[in-house]
Amino acid sequence: MNLTQNDIDFFKNLLGDSNVYTDKAHKRAYSYDATRTFYEPDAVIFPRDEEDISKILAYCNEKKIVIVPRGAGSGFTGGALPVNGGIVLAMEKYMNKILEIDLENMLAIVQPGVINKDLQRAVEEVGLFYPPDPASEEYSTLGGNVSENAGGMRAAKYGLTKDYVMALRAVLPNGDIIRAGKKTIKDVAGYNIAGILTASEGTLAVITEITLKLIPKPKFVKSYMGIFPDVKSAMNAVFKSLANGANPVAMEFLDSLVVKAVKEKLGIELPSEAGALIIGDVDGNVQEEVEFQLKTLKESFQENGVQEFRVATDTNERNEIWKARRGASPSITMYGSKKLNEDISVPRSMLPIALEKIYAIGAKYNLVVPCFGHAGDGNIHVNVMVDGSNEKELKDGHKAIEEIFQLVVDMGGTLSGEHGIGLSKAEFMDIAFTKEERALFDRIKEAFDPNNILNPGKMGL
């Protein structure tokens, strides 16, 4: 798609020259995300407010110009890539304000360009808590988090982004401004449009304001680590400890391949026979609650073969416990120059058999598949490691990924636990959804965006 000079003139007259760019440097800077795949837009535009967005979308809808909303570009599935050219609508320059922190109703109203961690810090200063903590929290935007329904390590106890979205303001492709949801705790009037827009990856509307639920900040937090002889023991300990009444904030796991990598790359001291780790936090408002959680975890882990159960006594020990989990992703590069990283999710009780079968698929193609992730909610980061310069390995790696997707869907799981579908998983939507369900998605897209100007090509739409 090529914009005309008349189009560029319209946007510059609306926004000013300093907010409309067609130079090579800006187009290149907004052409990629964490997938490191490149698609260059025709222009990059910085809207100043909701009214700007309304006018931009109304114009683009009439002219059938593609618009791709973008936060920080930190996604792993190509959700913000301009695959059809057009305009990248960049939200970080102006629409990045925390508009309100309502202490009495425990909610925050923010613009989509606010960085996740900035909101966390702001609400914690006044004794409140925003739990969703994607790994990209230091730079990902809340608009992007909502568009992808981001998760994080605390999802085991506190849930995903969708569990905190109370209301949204958004602009439809024709320029209409809507409000979906309310500030109230209960709201059962009409369709759940806020729910539809959450995880829609910018394909239905452009989010301009987000109302988020907050909760009281827990007063006490402790970290723990369970060291197991093998992955099966660790996975059994996860769902059995939860069934016994444990309610940890996080239950992160590292398999034997990742344990080996972090020991070698980071020099972390672990028993030589350590075959898997479970790492996490427990929290509460009274110390007794925290101690109860730790006791329940320890007893359940012991029933399932834990070799050692460690509890941090101070900040340094807590950081040391989490060092292995934070270093998991960079450490596994020892197994291959390129990793095909997927974030599949299965019912928690299926974790042991799921991992066993995933490793078997890797062995079938003679590929190493280290796994780590969020065992507490069944979300596994599967890393098929290949030599990026070896065409056969790359081809086999993608075959393995397709088989893994089919496996998890057959087990009642899903293609993505937190990264979304975007571009990279769009071709696999038929594995997860029936033709009738796909047709429904198409009708929803058409109802919101009949001219298909908003982020086309994502999620197979």
**How confident is the model over 343-377, as pLDDT tens digits?**
999 999 999 999 999 999 999 999 999 999 999 99
Residue-range domain boundaries for the chain:
5-93, 98-216, 220-329, 336-432
Calculate mean pLDDT across residues 50-72: 98
**How confident is the model over 373-400, as pLDDT tens digits?**
999 999 999 999 999 899 999 999 999 9
What is the Cα gyration radius of the chain? 23
Q: Please name the residues in contact with 116: beta carbons below 8 A apart, sequence gap of 6 or more.
A: 130, 132, 133, 134, 136, 137, 138, 140, 141, 142, 145, 150
Spatial CA neighbour of 459 closest among 132, 448, 133: 448
At residue 273 the predicted structure's pLDDT band, cuts being 50, 70 and 90, is confident
Domains 220-329 and 336-432 equal at CATH topology level: yes
Spatial CA neighbour of 74 closest among 419, 440, 442, 355: 419
Asked if residues 71 and 79 have their Cβ atoms less than 8 Å apart, the reply is no
Asked if residues 228 and 275 have their Cβ atoms less than 8 Å apart, the reply is yes
At residue 21, what is the residue type? Answer: Y
CATH architecture, range 98-216? 2-Layer Sandwich (3.30)
| Fold for the domain defined by 336-432 | Alpha-Beta Plaits (3.30.70)
Q: What is the pTM of this model?
A: 0.95
State in words which class domain 5-93 has. Answer: alpha beta
**How confident is the model over 26-40, as pLDDT tens digits?**
999 999 999 889 999
CATH architecture, range 220-329? 2-Layer Sandwich (3.30)
